[in-house]
């Protein structure tokens, strides 16, 4: 689960870097090498996130719906941050708000 948490955060950051830095550099700054570097890194992290989410779903106690939502989160720029924060908890552990109470 720790690997899924780390990859979830890294995937979300790489997506934002690709979207907010590399793509504008490519199209507005005439620097296509920015996407050539960040794109493959993001691709590997994306595939790792998908694979780890499928492998860890049973340990996390995710049903089919939550698994599909977690996988769909990979295509939204900040959604993996939310998955990491609120859904990646072993079965029996509460969400962060419940732990503080």
**Alpha helical stretches, state H, 1-94:** 2-17, 23-27, 33-60, 64-73, 79-86
How many angstroms separate the Cα of 33 from the Cα of each of 13, 25, 46? 19, 9, 20
User: How does DSSP classify residue 18?
Assistant: I
Whole-prediction pTM: 0.80
For residue range 56-82, what is the model confidence (pLDDT) as tens digits?
Answer: 999 988 899 999 999 999 898 888 888
Mean pLDDT for 75-95 is 76
Beta carbons of 17 and 25 less than 8 angstroms apart = no
Q: CA angle at residue 11 from 7 to 13, to 5 degrees?
A: 120
pLDDT in tens, 11-41: 999 999 999 999 999 999 999 999 999 999 9
């Amino acid at each position: 689960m720790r690997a899924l948490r780390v990859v979830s955060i890294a995937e979300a950051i790489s997506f934002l870097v690709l979207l907010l830095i590399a793509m504008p550099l490519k199209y507005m700054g005439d620097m296509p090498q920015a996407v050539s570097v960040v794109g493959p890194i993001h691709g590997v992290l994306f595939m790792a996130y998908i694979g780890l989410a499928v492998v860890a779903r049973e340990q996390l106690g995710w049903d089919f719906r939550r698994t599909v939502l977690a996988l769909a989160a990979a295509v939204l720029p900040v959604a993996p941050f939310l998955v990491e924060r609120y859904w990646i908890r072993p079965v029996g552990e509460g969400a962060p708000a419940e732990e503080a109470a």
